[in-house]
Amino acid sequence: MPAASLDTIANLAKKRGFVFQSSEIYGGLRSAYDYGPLGVELLRNVKDQWWQSMVRERGDIVGLDSAVLQARQVWVASGHEAEFTDPLVECTNCNNRFRVDKLSDKNQCPTCGKRDTFTEPRQFNLLFTTHMGPVEDEGAKVYLRPETAQGIFINYENVRRTSRLKLPFGIAQIGKAFRNEITPGQFVFRTREFEQMEMEFFCHPSESADWYDYWQQERLGWYVDLGLPSEDVRLREHDPDELSHYSAGTSDVEFQFPWGWDELEGIANRTDFDLRQHTEHSGVDLRYYDQEADERFFPHVIEPAAGATRTTFAFLLAAYDEEEVRGETRTVLRLDARLAPIKVAVLPLSKKDDLIPDTEAVAAALRPRWAVEVDVTQAIGRRYRRQDEIGTPYCVTIDFDTLDDRAVTIRDRDTMAQDRVAIDRVPTYLAERLPG
C-alpha cells in the first residue's frame, strides 16, 4: 500500500467530487474550499460519528448550537481580542509573510530562497472583524468566532439549569470557526474557514487530572476505531512554552500526514479560566453549587477540540490504497463503512430497458436506510472501479439472469468477492454487514 501524497488525494478529491476550490470560476480563493456531493456526505458522516460517540452514546453530555456572532465582550473576556495572535515576519525580497514558528529555517525565505531578508517578528491578530448594523464604527465591531468553545461557556448556566445537570457533565458542539491564518495551506488541512467538533467537560477541580487522562485515551481510540492505523496516530503532550494562556496541560492527537506529524485534535485542561473570566466580565456568577457538600466553586474544564475538515482529510489519506489486479492498477478507498459517503451502488449490467425496473426497485428498497447511488453508464468493470475509488463498500449488480432467478450479485469492495443473493434478501444481507 503506497503512502498517499498530498497531490494524489487533492486530485482524487476534485476528480470524484469530494472537494472543489472555492470560487474556482473566478480563479479560486486561497485556502477556501467547497465540499461536493461525495465530500459533504463524508464530512457529515465524520461529524455524525463524533456526535454519536460524544453525545448519543453517553448520559453525561448534551448538545448545543451557538451563534457565530457573539458580543464583542465575549472575546475580551476570553483573552482572544488581546492575545489571539501568531508571530509574523515578512520577506523584504518577495514580500511574502510567514508564521515564525512554522519556518523550518528562521533565516531563509521558503518562497524566494533568500537569506536574512525577514523583518523583525510582530504579533498578528487572527480574529476576523466585521460590524453589526448600518454604521461601521468601533461600537458596532464584532468578530467571526475563532472557536466554538466560548459559545458553550456563555451558555453553561443556561444548559446546566434547563437540563438539570450535575457534575461531571459535558456540552458538545459542532460548528464553523474562522481564523485569519497567516500561512494557510496543505489543501484542506489549514484554512481560514473550518469546522470544529468541540466538547467542554465540566468537573470538580479535584477530578480534573483524572478526566484529562481519560479524555486523552478516549479521543485517541476514536480515530483508531474508525480506521486510522495505530502506527500513524499518536498523543503528544505540549511543552510548557507551547501552552495556551488558559491551559494547565494540553495534548494533541497527531496524524502522520505526508509532510510529517501534525495535529488532528487538542485535549486541553482549561482549569476554571473561562468561567472565572466570564463571571468577572459579565457580572453573572457562573460558580457551581454542590448541595450535598454545601460548596460553591468554579468547575474545571477538560476540552477535546477536533477539526472536522482536517479529520476528514486524514481519513481520506489513511483509506487510500492501490493494488494490481489482472495487470491493472486498482485504486480503492478502504474507508470504514460508517464513513463511506455511498454505502451501496446499484448497477444494472446493461442500460437496456429490461433491467431498469429491478434496478430502480432495489435502489428504492435500500434508500430509506443507506446512501445509495445508481450508475447505468460505461462497462460494469469501469463502474466497479469508480465505486472502489470513492469507497463504496458494496455493489449490487442486476443482470439478465435476474429476470429469471430473481437474484442479484453483491460485490465486496475490499475483497472483490461476489455473492448471489435473492432480491428479497438484499436488505437483510446488507444489514448484516453495514451500519444503519
- Determine the residue type at 314: A
* Contact predicate 384/411, CB 8 Å: yes
Q: Is 430 exposed, middle or buried (0-12, 13-18, 19+ CB in 10 A)?
A: buried
pLDDT of residue 3: 59
Distance CA 77, CA 179 (A): 18
User: Which domains, and CATH codes, for the chain?
Assistant: 6-69+144-316 (3.30.930.10), 342-431 (3.40.50.800)
Name 257's Cβ contacts closer than 8 Å, sequence gap at least 6: 6, 186, 189, 314, 317
pLDDT of residue 97: 85
Q: If DSSP codes are grouped into helix, strand and coil, which group holds residue 352?
A: coil
Greatest alpha-carbon span in the chain: 79
* Contact predicate 267/212, CB 8 Å: yes
* Contact predicate 39/18, CB 8 Å: yes
pLDDT of residue 83: 79
Q: Whole-model pTM?
A: 0.90
- Low-confidence residues of the chain, pLDDT below 50? 1-2
pLDDT of residue 1: 47
Q: If DSSP codes are grouped into helix, strand and coil, which group holds residue 303?
A: strand
